[in-house]
């Protein structure tokens, strides 16, 4: 069941709390019209976005990078907000807007209170579901989906929050952020409790940690998979980006952790973690409690054996190519083991260890699995690290040539582009560079940086075709039976962001259409 155009999933029978209680618990001043009765007002939900306000909400008018949320107070009231929480500057904006509902004024940045206030409003503080968090640079969404699938196999009712979707049993909405703002997260958790969800898998971005999006949530188990360059536009340098991920491994946030220690960054997390961690190694000779061995891999999937302490073991397979997918599955399995869910219980719910994972837009095949013609995969990878992992994997399993098409985000970490181009051209036979989300940048300037990196590698044939629709058709025209086309970037997305406009574009639909035109898909 999809919940239509909703921006957030909320409980149907909400908790309610008096403003007087919120004011007292969080040291807030109550101002605005109707002061005399303000303390008697009750709120039933929290929204940070005036467009997503539901009747009874506390609307949190937050200062942002571009504007002050309190400037949207009138819209919030029109949609049924019962009170506003904001800072002193916001209170003035609310007064100017002439809205007549109580205003809670915080001396702190409202973001610092949002998690705890939302937990108080939604009553999620004592929700006793197992909560799992996954962080790292590449593969978080994949681990979260695998975890949800494995939890289901163990007979556990599951919810998830990822870059692609938020999901409560059969209720699904598309996501706008990898990690939702705290108000949305607690609303989602409250709905999960209503639906008797027993375990929640949450994808955790570094931005979520530093922007208080996880406040009021305590994880039973967190995992770290890998780390490579990304988001330097936000964090400035790799060390700050890493520190944001490491901060998840503290007692305030989580009880225990699982860490892939193949890389020096993973080893650092294991060493510097402030909570007990167990380690997973896929490299031979690496010290760890858990070891993963890939037993076979083809374009149709990967099989593995996982061995842990005290005889714990699991033999399984994932229907997506790449040894890193086995690693993602292993991480999910160890997280469950750490949460006290026996691996035997998971295995009992699967057919010979086959994990029936569908991960939207992650190495998702657009052609028919097993077909003898060219095979076409759409992916969400947008870092050099993800490109390298995928192209290494394809190098092992692709029967023919590898044709790799991709673009890069505008207005995001520009320093990673040359390396993306280089890695692509080292791993593929043909590279087609097209546009992704140029945002406010000239698309040809983004392409030029990618092309520089790709041409500098002196390996693949490098082609520039800005229009992704034409690039898809070009890739198909170049492919022969046995060849693999991999289109990285757009994954599950349904739009291109160009100069402030969201233009409808689904790479998956486009590719399917082009394959039909070429007679490669019925
Ligand atoms: C840099 C960043 O994280 N920005 C987030 C921040 O935006 P902002 O400070 O610019 O907000 P603003 O536009 O000035 O608006 C201020 C306030 O007014 C509100 N508003 C605004 C307009 C309106 O009509 N009504 C309204 O209520 C907004 O909800 C906000 O509370 O607060 C907004 C509201 O929650 C977020 O949507 C926005 O995320 C933007 C879209 C974003 O791109 N974030 C990225 C960097 C991000 O967080 N990415 C990570 C990692 C992804 C990955 O792993 O690749 C993620 O977790 O998604
Ligand atoms: N364990 C892994 N190691 C390296 N690359 C991976 C791994 N798992 C997946 N990938 C690659 O990274 C891409 C992105 O995967 P996924 O969406 O799961 O990552 P993510 O961390 O959630 O990224 P984002 O936060 O941007 O959504 C995949 O489509 C695949 O190409």
460 exposure class (CB count in 10 Å sphere: 0-12, 13-18, 19+)? buried
Spatial contact of 403 and 430, defined as CB atoms under 8 Å apart = yes
Give me the chain's average pLDDT, please.
94
Cα separation, 133 vs 454, in Å, equals: 35
In this prediction, residue 439 carries a pLDDT of: 97
Asked whether residue 458 falls in the same domain as residue 335, the answer is no
| Domain assignment present for 10 | no
Count other Cβ atoms within 10 Å, centred on residue 370. 10
Q: Phi/psi of residue 93, each to 5°?
A: -65, -40
Q: Is 22 found in the same domain as 117? A: yes
- 444 in any annotated domain: yes
Average the pLDDT over each of 331-335, 358-362, 388-392, 458-462 and give the range with the smallest value. 358-362
Ligand 2 close to Cβ of residue 386 (< 6 A): yes
CA dihedral 218, 220, 225, 227 (to 10 degrees): 20
Return d(Cα 66, Cα 80) in angstroms, integer: 25
Q: How many residues does the chain have?
A: 522
Decide if pLDDT at 515 tops 80: yes
DSSP code of residue 379? E
One domain for residues 243 and 326: yes
Kindly report the CATH number assigned to the domain that includes residue 59: 3.40.1390.10
**Rounded Cα–Cα distance for residues 178 and 269 (Å):** 22
Q: What is the CATH number of the domain that holds 225?
A: 3.40.1190.10
Task: Answer whether residue 393 shows pLDDT above 90.
Answer: yes
Give the three-state DSSP class for 302.
strand
pLDDT tens-digit readout, 281-319 = 998 778 999 999 999 999 999 999 999 999 999 999 999
Instruction: Name the band, by pLDDT with cuts 50, 70 and 90, for residue 433.
Output: very high
What ipTM does this complex have? Answer: 0.94
| Same domain? 298 vs 325 | yes
| Residue 328, SS3 per DSSP | helix
DSSP at 500: T
35 has a pLDDT exceeding 80: no
Give ligand 1 pocket residues (Cβ under 6 A).
48-51, 62, 64-67, 69, 72, 177-179, 181, 205, 207-208, 234
Taking residues 101-122, report their average pLDDT: 95
| pLDDT tens-digit readout, 243-284 | 999 999 999 999 999 999 999 999 999 999 999 999 999 987
pTM of the prediction?
Answer: 0.92
Domain limits for position 305 = 130-348
CB-CB contact of 114 with 215 (8 Å): yes
Q: 122, 143, 176 — which closes off a domain?
A: 122
Average pLDDT over residues 445-473: 97
pLDDT 10s digits, 62-73: 999 999 999 999
CATH number at residue 417: 3.90.190.20
Q: What DSSP state is assigned to residue 354? A: B
Q: Is 141 annotated as a binding residue?
A: yes
User: What mean pLDDT do residues 127-150 have?
Assistant: 96
The residue that leads in pLDDT, 336 or 238, is 336
Q: Please indicate, yes or no, whether residues 276 and 370 belong to a single structural domain of this protein.
A: no
C-alpha span between 433 and 454 (Å, rounded): 9
> For position 177, what pLDDT does the model report?
87
Domain assignment present for residue 450? The answer is yes
* CA 391–ligand 2 middle distance (angstroms): 13
- Residue 350: the pLDDT is 98
Residue 101 has pLDDT above 70, yes or no: yes
> Do 250 and 320 fall into the same domain?
yes
Q: Are residues 100 and 140 in the same domain?
A: no
How much of the chain exceeds pLDDT 90, in percent?
86
Nearest atom of ligand 2 to the alpha carbon of 327 = 1
Q: What is the pLDDT of residue 46?
A: 97
Minimum CA distance residue for ligand 2 atom 23: 138
Residue 482 annotated as binding site: no
pLDDT of residue 32: 66
Q: Which of 71, 75, 142, 177 to mutate to test the pocket of ligand 1 (most atoms within 8 A of CB)?
A: 177
Q: Which of these three, 122, 139, 166, is where a domain ends?
A: 122
Q: Based on the domain organization, do 333 and 212 belong to the same domain?
A: yes
Residue 522 lies in a domain: no
Same-domain pairing of 153 and 90: no
On whether 142 is known to bind a ligand per the annotation, the reply is: yes
**Same domain (yes/no): 386, 477:** yes
What span, in angstroms and rounded, lies between the C-alpha atoms of 365 and 493?
Answer: 15
Is the confidence at residue 2, as pLDDT, over 80?
Answer: no
**2, part of any domain:** no
Residues 143 and 290 in one domain: yes
Say how far residue 404 (Cα) sits from the centre of its chain: 23
328 is in an annotated binding site: no
Output the pLDDT for position 236: 86
CB of 449 sitting under 6 A from ligand 2: no
519: left (phi over 0), alpha (psi -120 to 50) or beta: left
| Secondary structure of residue 78 in the 3-state scheme | helix
Q: Do 373 and 481 sit in the same domain of this protein? A: yes
Q: What is the pLDDT, as a whole number, of residue 1?
A: 61
Of the three residues 92, 122, 152, the one that is the final residue of a domain is: 122
Please report the DSSP string for 428-485 in residue order.
-SEEEE--S--BTS-HHHHHHHHHHHHHHT--SEEEE---HHHHHHHHHHH--TT-EE
Q: Which of 268, 294, 267, 271 is nearest to 280 (CA)?
A: 267
483 within a domain of the structure (yes/no): yes
Asked whether residue 380 is assigned to any structural domain, the reply reads yes
Residue for token digits 């992992």? 389
Q: What is the pLDDT of residue 436?
A: 97
Q: What's residue 340's pLDDT?
A: 97
User: For 148-206, what is each residue's pLDDT tens digit?
Assistant: 999 999 999 999 999 989 999 889 988 888 889 999 999 999 999 999 999 999 999 99
In a domain, 6, yes or no: no
Q: State residue 34's pLDDT score.
A: 56
- Tally the domains of the chain: 3
């Amino acid at each position: 069941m999809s919940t239509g155009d909703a921006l957030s999933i909320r409980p149907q029978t909400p908790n309610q709390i008096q403003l007087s209680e919120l004011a007292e618990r969080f040291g807030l001043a109550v101002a605005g019209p109707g002061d005399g009765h303000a303390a008697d007002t009750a709120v039933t939900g929290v929204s940070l976005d005036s467009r997503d306000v539901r009747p009874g909400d506390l609307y949190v008018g937050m200062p942002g990078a571009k504007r002050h949320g309190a400037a949207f107070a009138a819209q919030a009231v029109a949609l049924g907000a019962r009170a506003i929480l904001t800072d002193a500057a916001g209170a003035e904006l609310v007064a100017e807007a002439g809205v007549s509902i109580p205003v809670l004024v915080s001396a702190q940045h409202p973001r610092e209170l949002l998690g705890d206030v939302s937990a108080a409003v939604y009553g999620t503080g004592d929700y006793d579901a197992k909560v799992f968090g996954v962080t790292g640079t590449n593969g978080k969404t994949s681990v979260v989906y695998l975890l949800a699938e494995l939890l289901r196999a163990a007979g556990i009712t599951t919810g998830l929050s990822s870059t692609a979707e938020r999901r409560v049993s059969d209720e699904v909405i598309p996501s706008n952020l990898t990690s939702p703002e705290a108000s949305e997260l607690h609303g989602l958790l409250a709905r999960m409790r209503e639906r008797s969800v027993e375990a929640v898998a949450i994808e955790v971005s570094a931005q979520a940690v530093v922007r208080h999006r996880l406040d009021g949530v305590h994880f039973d188990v967190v995992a770290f998979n890998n780390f490579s360059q990304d988001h330097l536009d936000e964090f400035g340098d790799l060390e700050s980006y890493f520190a944001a991920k490491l901060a998840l491994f503290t007692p305030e946030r989580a009880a225990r952790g699982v860490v892939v220690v193949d890389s020096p960054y993973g080893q650092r997390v294991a060493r510097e973690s402030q909570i007990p961690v167990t380690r997973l190694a896929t490299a031979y000779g690496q010290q760890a409690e858990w070891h993963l061995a890939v037993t076979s891999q083809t374009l149709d999937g990967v099989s593995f054996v996982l061995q842990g302490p005290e005889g714990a073991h699991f033999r399984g397979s994932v229907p997506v190519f790449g040894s890193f997918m086995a690693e993602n599955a292993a991480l999910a399995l160890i997280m469950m083991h750490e949460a006290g869910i026996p691996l035997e219980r998971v295995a009992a719910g699967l057919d010979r260890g086959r994990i029936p994972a569908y991960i939207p837009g992650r190495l998702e095949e657009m052609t028919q699995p097993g077909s003898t013609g060219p095979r076409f995969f759409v992916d969400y990878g947008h870092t050099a690290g993800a490109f390298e992992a995928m192209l290494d994997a394809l190098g092992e399993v692709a029967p023919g040539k590898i044709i790799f098409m991709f673009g890069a985000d505008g207005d995001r970490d520009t320093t990673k582009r040359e390396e993306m181009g280089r890695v692509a051209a080292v791993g593929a036979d043909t590279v087609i560079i097209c546009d992704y989300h140029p945002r406010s940048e000239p698309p040809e300037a983004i392409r030029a940086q990618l092309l520089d990196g790709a041409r500098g590698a002196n390996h693949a044939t490098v082609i520039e075709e800005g229009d992704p629709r034409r690039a898809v058709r070009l890739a198909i025209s170049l492919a022969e039976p046995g060849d693999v086309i991999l289109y990285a970037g757009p994954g599950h997305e349904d739009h291109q962001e160009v100069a402030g406009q969201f233009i409808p574009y689904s790479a998956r639909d486009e590719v399917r259409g082009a394959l039909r035109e070429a007679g490669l898909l019925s």
